[in-house]
Amino acid sequence: MNRTLFWDRLHTSRLSLWELGDLLGLHPHVLGFRELNALDQQPVRVVVDLARRLDMHPADLVDSIESVLNNHRGTASTDPTAEPTDDALTILTALAAAVAALTIDQLADALGWKLERIQTAMNYAEEHPHLAGPLILRRVPPHGYTVKPRLDRLTAEQHKAVTTSGHAKIMTVEQANAVLAVIALGHRPEYGDWHAEHTDAEQGLRAAGLIYNPYNHEKPKAAPEVLYSLRYDRTGDRDVTDYAPPPAALRSDPSVAC
């Protein structure tokens, strides 16, 4: 297995322990180096599914699998004789992955290409805007480039609706403490005392659907989505974050946007 590529893609994809465990048919508590090194014992379908989630070739996970696949390893980004379409797609992908607009010089350094190749690919992308699908190459003055959503795919009303919907609402410190109290004390008698002093914060969480009372008003629970985002397992009052597998890349971003 190409371990360097695997850990990089795993970290970038933000695939959680739970999702990785589901793919491999293993509980995340027992997921570690030994299980990941035994991918060659998994069914081909499982290896292919994992490769798709990580944007990898299955043979980068299990070398011996390449002989039974139609598509072999290789990428146009390392081939100096690649077709203009392949180079243009590589440029567009690089710009989409970049955290800021890049100049042609910066792209050349990042991709290890000559300036002439970068410029040719850039020109081809501008002349064939359909290559980027819902995205399009944009110039960022004075000399930068990036990719942005096309303006002709949505109506003005649709564009306004999607750009104003789904904004993450960051919890206040008081609300975050309220969530913690529900998780740690919600099933205990002493929660009633805490509840009496923090009714406003708790009410806000109820209105947002982050906590609820399935059986008893005095024993609230955090919504499953909240527990999942925190990687929290209530079975045996055990927090999944207590389990730390050797590779740090296995752990998803713990930040929670509600």
- Tell me the per-residue pLDDT of 205-218, one tens digit each, with 9 for 90 and over: 887 788 887 666 56
Here the CATH number for the domain that contains residue 35 is: 1.10.260
Measured CA distances, 197 to 174, 179, 182, 207 (Å)? 11, 14, 13, 18
Q: Give the whole-angstrom CA distance, residue 214 versus residue 13.
A: 34
Domain annotation covers residue 28: yes
- One-letter amino acid at 182 equals V
Confidence band, pLDDT 50/70/90 cuts, at residue 36:
confident
The secondary structure of residue 78, as a DSSP letter, is: G
Q: For position 25, what pLDDT does the model report?
A: 81
Inter-residue contact 47 to 38 (CB < 8 Å): no
242: domain range?
A: 173-250
pLDDT at residue 175 greater than cutoff 70: yes
Q: Give the containing element (helix H, strand E) for 107.
A: helix 104-111
pTM of the full structure: 0.51
Q: Is the peptide bond before 189 cis (omega within 30 degrees of 0)?
A: no
Q: Is the peptide bond before 58 cis (omega within 30 degrees of 0)?
A: no
Q: For position 216, what pLDDT does the model report?
A: 60
pLDDT at residue 110 greater than cutoff 80: yes
pLDDT digits (tens, 9 = 90+) for 68-85: 666 555 555 555 556 788
Here the CATH number for the domain that contains residue 85 is: 1.10.10.10
Task: Provide the domain count of the chain.
Answer: 3
